[in-house]
Amino acid sequence: MSIIQKATEVAAKLMPDKQVDPLIDGPGEAGSAVGQAVSRLDGPIKVAGEARFAAEVAIEGLTYAALVCSTIPRGRVVSIDADEARSAPGVILVMTHENAPEMASPPQMFTDPHGATTSDLPIMQNAEIHWNGEPVALVLGETQEQADYGASLIGVEYEQNDADLDFEAMFSGAEAPDAILGEPASVSMGHAEDALGEAAHVVDEVYTTPRLYHAAIEPHAATIVWNGAGDLLVHDSLQTIADAKSAYAKVFGLKEKNVRVLSPFVGGGFGSKYVWSHQLLAIAAAKLAERPVRIVLSREEVFRVTGGRTLTKQRVALGAKADGTLASLIHTGTTAMTRYNEFPEQFTFSTRHMYAAAALFIAQEVVRLDMVANTSMRAPGEAVGTFALESALDELAIAMAVDPIELRRRMEPERDPTKDTPFSSRNLLQAYEDGATRFGWKGRDSSSESRRDGEWLIGQGVASAYYPYYRMPGCAARIELTVDGRAVVQSSVHEMGMGTATVQAQHAADRLGLPIDLVTFQYGDSDLPAGTIAGGSSQSATVIGAVMAAHEALLKKLLKLVGSGSALKGAKHDEVMSRNGGLCRIDAPDQCESYVSLLEGAGEKSIAAEASGSMPLEIMKYSMHSYGAQFCEARVNSITGEVRISRWLGSFDTGRILNPKTAASQFRGAIVMGLGLALTEEALFDKRTGRFMNPSLAEYHVPVHLDVPEIDVIWTDIPDPLSPMGVHGIGEIGVTGVGAAVANAVHDACGVRIRNLPITLDKVLAGLSAQT
Ligand code: MOS
């Protein structure tokens, strides 16, 4: 019996009333493409330097844009002196709020289902300043250097108003957001504070995490071409093509069919590659100048013009009964956003679904600061929320003298703790067991000898990883079969380096019963059927759902081609399956006809079908999440306080793995990002001026090779019976739990507990000296 059939049986048991359609239908038999370590199909072209990114497209008559950004955090522009810039060599245009074309406010992505921008502020439509870094002028030049020089000549006079820049100073005015990605800002069960007061063991601590930036290797960039008649072409770097097209149409009053957005290659997104002001300003400038425009943000401008992950201050209070089960679980805290965006950073989301507790209280608040609108960054919420929760669990394990894995076993819930729905698939404890064996988890009782190497102190830490399963509605896909036996599958989705093109070709090949080299997956173009966002780790499951729907539509069309002598005569679409380059009867698998024969018989050159995936009803009825166990070995220098990570293992439970090669890379990349969060990354915000003080990769420290050990990753590969093909998204979960696993290992090594990220040597040293 195949694992898929087993999963289908589980699904049937879980849904006797059939309100949710089972989405598993049985491709992926032995020898098929899914599950194979297929190398990235976009690899060779990237390695050869032939992939053209948004700022590399060759365009005749191109001009180059440079921005002038506000140097005050709040107020208004009184005057702009641009005379010198206008007469500088090669300067074509200076655009400010005084001459910018009318642009409608862009729809906001976290509140409008088709929004593509993080805030809905009007772009360069008036003199108001909302943050230090807001663009106040754009200079177009014949070369980038001429544009940059022109921008340097512009003088701006401001009238400055008092700005709200100090996170903690705003706490007295903190408020609960209306909702957090559609979920309530607070959840309460029982009397958590009372239960905490009566608990046998209590941990009640405050944890903080700083502002962070995505630091994609490719900075935000776009190349804009207006074609006379009002057609707009944007070569962009995006993870939301379909919504960007609709945003560009809305802002510039165009019909959607007159806008095309191309984004075939993206040099990293991580939640940052949306529509920001730079694209809108470049489109506006191209319109005014009647010339194509290229805009590339400098690394400093990435920090100033686009937003990153906001900061958090969190309280986690755990009250355990003597038997180690939780009497009380409290997770509260505050983040910062702006008056013109709604992204509260859902740091309590993992706490809502991870552990059983007799009483629970969860509440998030926000303060509004004058800063660039914050946005999603790889595992928004969970990346920093798991730092607090999983650190606190470690502190509780130590207080109770219980192994931290055993403690989590005692807290394992039978149903979702806050939704009270069944889990579709949850194998967290297996991920811990598999991981502990593979890593050689020693627990808390290892001998002091193996824990010291000269001046280095060695420790181990674990923490749970968690990320929700999402599937988005409204994603379409089109499949075309041609008489040469090939298939093209299309959807305007994204390849930011995750392996999208590869795994979708693998799935489509199996779905169609074709070898993978006869299948092409096309994406990255808004003229293709409207796809979905590459966000929330939802793209793979969402596209698979759409391809399944398109395949079903294709079967119906193919059966209309069946001739009188065919083995398929009279068969309905649910009585056939794709196999060996054609269709076969399910009840008589040797009765088949190839696609080529069907097409030739009907005198057709090709046949195509397009459809949208089913509504993601599975999410509403079941608790659907991914899990993992992060294992860290850290070495702490007892003299300098330096922390070095010497070993890492991520053990994941994320549904079915489509491609072990691209999956391992996704997990590893995210763990590396987690190591940055744990040890080195912090965007320093000057609360006097509202300006970032380290907006460069020289001073904003992402991990480099020497910071990263060999990272081992394993997975349960247990398909979720309720998701398409049994898959979960895997792009983000790897970041989660990393901060806590490091903090827990550091404590295990040297006895210093760091509750404020990043864990830099000054904090460790302070802790070490406090011990003596
Ligand atoms: Mo992810 S931050 O939702 O791209």
- By most ligand atoms within 8 Å of CB, the mutation choice from 306, 378, 472, 542 for ligand 1 is 378
SS3 637: strand
H/E run at residue 375: none
Question: How many whole angstroms from its chain centre is CA 570?
Answer: 46
In the reported structure, the alpha carbon of residue 380 is separated from the centroid of ligand 1 by a whole-number distance in angstroms of 7
User: How many CA atoms lie less than 13 Å away from 411 in the CB half-sphere?
Assistant: 32
- By most ligand atoms within 8 Å of CB, the mutation choice from 732, 733, 735, 736 for ligand 1 is 732
Q: Which residue, chain included where needed, has tokens 């063991």? A: 201
**501 and 531 in contact (C-beta within 8 Å)?**
no
Helix extents (H) in 153-211: 192-198
In the reported structure, the alpha carbon of residue 271 is separated from the centroid of ligand 1 by a whole-number distance in angstroms of 4
Measured CA to CA, the distance from residue 480 to residue 550 in angstroms comes to 10
Q: What share of the chain is helix, strand, coil (3-state, %, to 5)?
A: 30, 25, 45
**Among protein residues, the one whose CA lies closest to atom 4 of ligand 1:** 271
Query: What are the beta bridge partners of residue 385?
Result: none
Instruction: Quickly state the pLDDT bin for 112 (edges 50, 70, 90).
Output: confident
Answer yes or no: is pLDDT of 325 > 90: yes
Task: Return the pLDDT at 2.
Answer: 40
- Give the nearest ligand 1 atom to 380 CA: 2
> Could you read off the pLDDT of 254-309 as tens digits, one per residue?
999 999 999 999 999 999 999 999 999 999 999 999 999 999 999 999 999 999 99
Task: Return the pLDDT at 32.
Answer: 84
- Give the nearest ligand 1 atom to 378 CA: 2
Task: Return the pLDDT at 4.
Answer: 39
In the reported structure, the alpha carbon of residue 542 is separated from the centroid of ligand 1 by a whole-number distance in angstroms of 15
- Give the nearest ligand 1 atom to 538 CA: 3
In the reported structure, the alpha carbon of residue 115 is separated from the centroid of ligand 1 by a whole-number distance in angstroms of 15
> Could you read off the pLDDT of 237-246 as tens digits, one per residue?
999 999 999 9
Answer yes or no: is pLDDT of 446 > 80: no
The encoded tokens of residue 425 equal 């698939």
SS3 320: strand
Task: Return the pLDDT at 5.
Answer: 43
Helix extents (H) in 637-712: 660-679
- Overall average pLDDT of the 327-347 stretch: 97
**Distance in angstroms between the alpha carbons of the first and the last residue of the chain:** 62
**321 and 378 in contact (C-beta within 8 Å)?**
no
> Could you read off the pLDDT of 160-194 as tens digits, one per residue?
999 999 999 999 999 999 999 989 999 999 999 99
- Give the nearest ligand 1 atom to 239 CA: 4
Task: Return the pLDDT at 448.
Answer: 57
Instruction: Quickly state the pLDDT bin for 516 (edges 50, 70, 90).
Output: very high
In the reported structure, the alpha carbon of residue 678 is separated from the centroid of ligand 1 by a whole-number distance in angstroms of 19
Cα dihedral sign for 227, 232, 236, 241? negative
Answer yes or no: is pLDDT of 595 > 70: yes
Question: How many whole angstroms from its chain centre is CA 57?
Answer: 26
Query: What are the beta bridge partners of residue 258?
Result: none
Pocket around ligand 1 at a 6 A CB cut-off: 239, 269-271, 376-378, 380, 535-536, 732
- Give the nearest ligand 1 atom to 535 CA: 3
Measured CA to CA, the distance from residue 250 to residue 516 in angstroms comes to 39
- Overall average pLDDT of the 650-673 stretch: 97
Measured CA to CA, the distance from residue 151 to residue 153 in angstroms comes to 5
Nearest to 157 by CA among 79, 72, 94: 79
Nearest to 510 by CA among 489, 527, 484: 489
In the reported structure, the alpha carbon of residue 497 is separated from the centroid of ligand 1 by a whole-number distance in angstroms of 13
Distances (CA, A) of 539 to 85, 359, 376, 493: 45, 35, 16, 8
Cα dihedral sign for 49, 54, 58, 62? negative
β-sheet with 75-81: strand ranges across: 128-129, 75-81, 155-160
Answer yes or no: is pLDDT of 11 > 60: no
Residue 282, sorted as left (phi over 0), alpha (psi -120 to 50) or beta, turns out to be alpha
What is the average pLDDT value for the chain, to the nearest integer? 94
Measured CA to CA, the distance from residue 555 to residue 337 in angstroms comes to 49
In the reported structure, the alpha carbon of residue 376 is separated from the centroid of ligand 1 by a whole-number distance in angstroms of 6
In the reported structure, the alpha carbon of residue 537 is separated from the centroid of ligand 1 by a whole-number distance in angstroms of 7
- Overall average pLDDT of the 573-589 stretch: 94
**345 and 365 in contact (C-beta within 8 Å)?**
no
Q: Where are the beta strands (DSSP E) in 454-568?
A: 456-468, 476-482, 487-490, 519-522
φ, ψ of residue 87 to 5 degrees: the values are -95, 5
> Could you read off the pLDDT of 137-165 as tens digits, one per residue?
999 999 999 999 999 999 999 999 999 99
Q: Which residue, chain included where needed, has tokens 């005015």? A: 173
In the reported structure, the alpha carbon of residue 651 is separated from the centroid of ligand 1 by a whole-number distance in angstroms of 21
Q: How many CB atoms lie within 10 A of CB 112?
A: 16
Nearest to 173 by CA among 334, 341, 352: 334
Cα dihedral sign for 417, 418, 424, 428? negative
Q: How many CB atoms lie within 10 A of CB 37?
A: 10
Catalytic residue numbers read 732
R_g over Cα of the chain: 27
In the reported structure, the alpha carbon of residue 378 is separated from the centroid of ligand 1 by a whole-number distance in angstroms of 5
Question: How many whole angstroms from its chain centre is CA 689?
Answer: 30
H/E run at residue 590: none
In the reported structure, the alpha carbon of residue 621 is separated from the centroid of ligand 1 by a whole-number distance in angstroms of 24
Task: Return the pLDDT at 450.
Answer: 67
**626 and 466 in contact (C-beta within 8 Å)?**
yes
Task: Return the pLDDT at 230.
Answer: 84
Render 510-539 in DSSP notation, one character per residue: HHHT--GGGEEEE-SBTTSSP---S-TT-H
**Burial of 114 from C-beta contacts in 10 A (0-12 / 13-18 / 19+):** middle
Distances (CA, A) of 440 to 160, 394, 422, 707: 59, 18, 32, 22
User: How many CA atoms lie less than 13 Å away from 213 in the CB half-sphere?
Assistant: 29
> Could you read off the pLDDT of 675-733 as tens digits, one per residue?
999 999 999 999 999 999 999 999 999 999 999 999 999 999 999 999 999 999 999 99
Task: Return the pLDDT at 7.
Answer: 43
Answer yes or no: is pLDDT of 20 > 80: no
The encoded tokens of residue 715 equal 């997975």
The encoded tokens of residue 668 equal 């590893």
Answer yes or no: is pLDDT of 35 > 70: yes
- By most ligand atoms within 8 Å of CB, the mutation choice from 181, 213, 376 for ligand 1 is 376
Question: How many whole angstroms from its chain centre is CA 210?
Answer: 19
Measured CA to CA, the distance from residue 283 to residue 258 in angstroms comes to 14
Measured CA to CA, the distance from residue 138 to residue 150 in angstroms comes to 9
Peptide bond into 758 cis (omega under 30): yes
Measured CA to CA, the distance from residue 512 to residue 489 in angstroms comes to 10
In the reported structure, the alpha carbon of residue 538 is separated from the centroid of ligand 1 by a whole-number distance in angstroms of 9
Nearest to 387 by CA among 215, 210, 182, 644: 210
CA dihedral defined by 444, 395, 735, 717, rounded to 10 degrees? 50
- Give the nearest ligand 1 atom to 377 CA: 2
Measured CA to CA, the distance from residue 594 to residue 761 in angstroms comes to 65
